[in-house]
Amino acid sequence: MTSPTVVNALGRAQEMAQQAAQIIPGGVNSATRAIGAPWAFASAKGARIVDVEGRSYVDYHAAFGATLLGHADDRVNHAIRTAIEQIDLVGLGTTELELEVARLTVDAIPSAEMVISTVSGSESVFQAIRLSRGATGRKYILKFQGCFHGSYDAVARNVISSPALAYGRDPNSSGILDAALDHTLIAEFNDLASVEELFAKYPEQIAAVILEPVPHNVGALLPEQEFLEGLRRITREQGTVLIFDEVITGFRHALGGYQEICGITPDLTTFGKAMGNGYPVAGLAGSAELMRNFTPMGGDVMLAGTFNGNAVSMSAALATITTLKDPEVGFYDHVYSLGDRMRAGLGEITARHGIPAVVTGIGSVFVTYFMEGEVRGYRDLLRNNDEAYATFHRRMMEKGSMMYPMSLKRNHISLAHTAEDIDRTLSQADEVLGEMARSGMFNTK
């Protein structure tokens, strides 16, 4: 029998959700937060989050990957407290914090000769696209089916598309002008021919090619080196700006982002999310030649933003990047080791239960597609068993492992996770996947 305290707490959770829905659209400030139960959360620390019912979850959602070190990391929180005792928001000139973060960023990211700060990845993307158009005088942008680049109109299309809409006209929202959608072209990831076809169709008209070097917004499509090298060659030949959107891959897979791993240097790089370990901070880095087009250097591409470079964001970024660089912390060794442990375990479990699955990912990110065959581009993901994907994540949440309950959403491991967390999660996955297989969800024989 459920105890009275749990009944009361559950009532409070639903009451909070209902109250929020009266004054916040849908009761949430972002559509992706509307997951049903658990309705509301009370605290977060390290690798765990606690809902208002008092139930603790090992967090693999990690705020869509924003927390690299774990929730409420003491180093980051201490840096913020220290900073705001000295300065808050001046909105004029620059500060020592801004300068320090800029130096660390330029030192870390191979493409960075100059850098600006913003407070969200979406802002960084719109700055990158505006800069590309301003510098080239061209109007078209080329993106890839399945890649997500924030809420900016120019790229708010063709992410997780249905088979009927994939590669066609699939805006993320109403209210976007047709011209904004029509000036963004859609290609297939890991398919250089689809890119070459668009350049042939729109000669000397494509301002920029933008991509997630690892499309994590549809799980983890791993890029082929020849594909990335081909993009770099084509964009140089065509005078087109190559933009790596490293809002997710940046700082997570390597200090310098995925470009450090693959050795391909884009013209511009957007980054953010994880660099502040949960605080709002992002940025854009690139060649000095391009960045000189911004208005503070006498160019004609507007750069503005009251909260750019604010003390809280900068101190969070400074503490996070400093921690990532510390060899005694060993961040990358830790999360790569745990990621390998999780992927190997999931691979063994799905194979033992006879489940058609592709377990993939890189470093701290792990994904289990429920399908057979290779996974190169979005076209392959149309074979994924979306119902099984979402069901697996939902049932793992019910066991106490927080995995976002929607198909194609990735999972993250932080510095705060332990080998014991991974092993406990694998034990839960064994139980859940076994039950799903026995129920016939995968049509196993």
For residue 159, pLDDT over 60 is answered with yes
pLDDT of residue 1: 32
CA pseudo-torsion sign 165, 171, 174, 176: negative
CATH of 4-65+330-438, one of 3.30.70.1290, 3.40.190.10, 3.40.50.1970, 3.90.1150.10: 3.90.1150.10
**AA letter at 411:** N
Mean pLDDT (whole number) for 392-405: 96
For position 362, what pLDDT does the model report?
98
Chain-wide mean pLDDT for the chain? 94
Q: How confident is the model at residue 31 (pLDDT cuts 50, 70, 90)?
A: confident
How does pLDDT run across 402-441, given as a tens digit for each residue? Answer: 999 999 999 999 999 999 999 999 999 999 999 999 999 9
Domain ranges of the chain: 4-65+330-438, 74-325
Q: Mean pLDDT, to the nearest integer, of 115-141? A: 97
- pLDDT grade, residue 4 (50/70/90)? very low
Q: Is the pLDDT of residue 445 over 50?
A: no
How sure is the predictor about 5, in pLDDT bands with cuts at 50, 70 and 90?
very low
Average pLDDT over residues 307-333: 97
pLDDT at residue 443, rounded to an integer = 77
Cβ neighbours around 285 below 10 Å, total: 28
Q: What is the DSSP string of 395-407?
A: HHHHHTEE--SST
- pLDDT (average), residues 151-158: 92
Whether domain 74-325 has CATH 3.100.10.20: no
Write the DSSP string, 90-144: --SS--HHHHHHHHHHHHH-TT-SEEEEESSHHHHHHHHHHHHHHHH---EEEEE
Instruction: Output the pLDDT for position 184.
Output: 97
Q: How many whole angstroms separate alpha carbon 213 and alpha carbon 264?
A: 10
| pLDDT exceeds cutoff 70 at 146 | yes
Q: Write phi, then psi, for 107 (nearest 5 degrees).
A: -70, -30
Is residue 8 predicted with pLDDT exceeding 50?
no
Look-up: residue for tokens 């370990």? 277
pLDDT tens digits along 276-316: 999 999 999 999 999 999 999 999 999 999 999 999 999 99
Cβ contacts of 76 within 8 Å, gap of 6 or more: 69, 276, 277, 278, 279, 316, 319, 320, 323
Per-residue model confidence (pLDDT) at position 11 = 75
pLDDT of residue 3: 33
**Confidence grade of residue 348 (pLDDT, cut at 50, 70, 90):** very high
pLDDT tens, residue by residue, 161-211? 999 999 999 999 999 999 999 999 999 999 999 999 999 999 999 999 999
pLDDT of residue 30: 87
- Res. 14 pLDDT band, cuts 50 70 90: confident
Q: Which amino acid is at 213?
A: P
